[in-house]
Amino acid sequence: MRFRRTIGMATLATAAVFGTTAATFPSAQVGRSQPLPALTARALAARYATDSRMITRAARAASGAGNQSLARSLDAMRGGHFIDFNPAGQGLAVEVLGNLAQARRVVVLVPGSDTSLATFDSRGTASPGGAARSLAAQVRKQDPGADLAIIAWLGYGDPATLSPGILTSGDAGQGAAALRPFVDYLARHGRQVALICHSYGSVVCGLAAPHLPVTDIAVVGSPGMDASSVRALDTTARVWAGRGVGDWIRHVPHVHFFGLGFGQDPMDPAFGARLFATGAGGHSGYFVPGSIALRNLADIALGDPAGVVR
């Protein structure tokens, strides 16, 4: 473990040469988000149909360009309900599971690095679409009558794991700027909102957190939230943190210097988060069916803190 931490510190020190530039200019380029539709059955159905046609055209374009892996990923997305889609750059995609028009509560899943249109639904429960479906199935088991919608939110251009951007909050800042109005819109229209944020997505949620109208913020596999404590997040939400025993993220140095790193470990008791059990899984194992991590995330999604196993 000491060796891995030493390697991690060396990586951060090397990256410090260009850290300021990486933090200032986000590494990922994506198109603009669409304005959200009215949260009515008719308006949502119209948006779903429009975005389905856009996905079909993007799949044909990818196939014509010889990018068959992207074409297959887009083909798999065509049956979903998307309220945002843009194929430019890495791409944007925001998928809804459940009846958003009638839902009382909405859970937004914010993914981490290496997520794009090509991986939105191609890595099982390690992808945003697969994670959302796994969480939805678990919620139905725990509360079949839950008035809940789940949103897989790829609303920002996240960095590649093997890139300078992964060491800075540049892309996360871009993501937070997109996430805030999205959540505000849902809250203004009467929805209780909770965030579940994986890996680099937890940096996005940490930057978006101040005064955000959410009831819960849960981070899993987090490298940090760009904050020193829950108090520093300036939120009234319940803040949760979980990390699997086999998650390599535990070896990432929790530092913040020269614009690099994301500060205090949310799993550190001094941070002040509500820690919850996640079992022995690895960095991509939080939404695996049957896992304690998924059961706890379902309770958080449902707004049932008493049900969470600590």
Structure-model confidence comparison of residues 164 and 262, the more confident one: 262
Query: Looking at the predicted structure, is the pLDDT value of residue 169 above 70?
Result: no
In whole angstroms, what is the distance from residue 127 CA to residue 93 CA? 12
Closest CA to 115 of 84, 93, 137, 95: 93
Alpha-carbon gap, residue 292 to 296, rounded angstroms: 6
What single DSSP character describes residue 220? E
The arrangement of strands across the sheet holding 148-154 comes to 81-86, 92-97, 148-154, 105-110, 192-198, 216-220, 238-242, 274-275
Residue 17: what pLDDT? 32
Residue 301: which pLDDT band, with cuts at 50, 70 and 90?
very high
Q: How far apart are CA 138 and CA 132, in angstroms?
A: 10
How confident is the model over 50-106, as pLDDT tens digits? 999 999 999 999 999 999 999 999 999 988 999 999 999 889 999 999 999 999 999
Q: Report the greatest alpha carbon distance in the chain.
A: 57
pLDDT of residue 146: 96
pLDDT of residue 168: 63
User: pLDDT for 192-201, tens place per residue?
Assistant: 999 999 999 9
Beta strands 238-242 and 274-275, pairing class: parallel
For residues 111-121, give the mean pLDDT: 91
pLDDT value for 253: 83
- Please give the tally of structural domains in the chain: 1
Chain centroid to CA 309:
22
Instruction: Write the CATH number for 138.
Output: 3.40.50.1820
Cβ-Cβ contacts under 8 Å for 167 (sequence gap 6 or more)? 11, 12, 15, 19, 22, 260, 261
Whole-number percent of the chain with pLDDT over 90:
77
Range of the domain at 227: 2-307
Q: How far apart are CA 299 and CA 134, in angstroms?
A: 13
Q: Which amino acid is at 152?
A: A
The yes-or-no verdict on residue 21 having pLDDT over 60 is: no
pLDDT at 160: 58
Kindly provide the residue ranges of all beta strands, DSSP E only, lying in 64-104, ordered along the sequence.
81-86, 92-97
Mean pLDDT value of segment 210-235 = 97
Residue 226 pLDDT grade (very low, low, confident, very high; cuts 50, 70, 90)? very high
What pLDDT score was predicted for residue 259?
Answer: 62
Task: Name the band, by pLDDT with cuts 50, 70 and 90, for residue 38.
Answer: very high
- Token look-up 């639904």 returns 121
Contacts of 215 (CB under 8 A, 6+ apart): 192, 193, 194, 237, 238, 303
- Percent of the chain at pLDDT above 70? 84
| pTM more than 0.85 | yes
For residues 158-173, give the mean pLDDT. Answer: 62
User: What crossing angle do the helices spanning 68-77 and 41-64 adopt, rounded to 10°?
Assistant: 160
Burial 111-148 (b: 16+ CB within 10 A, else e): bbbbbbbbbbbbbebbbbbbbbbbbbebbeeebeebeb
Q: What is the pLDDT of residues 242-281, one digit of tens each?
A: 999 999 999 988 876 556 678 899 999 999 999 999 999 9
**Comparing 20 with 192, which gets the higher pLDDT?**
192
Mean pLDDT of the chain: 88
Q: Give the CA angle between residues 262, 265, 271 to the nearest 5°.
A: 110
Backbone angles phi, psi at 254, to 5 degrees: -95, 85
* Residues shown for the chain: 310
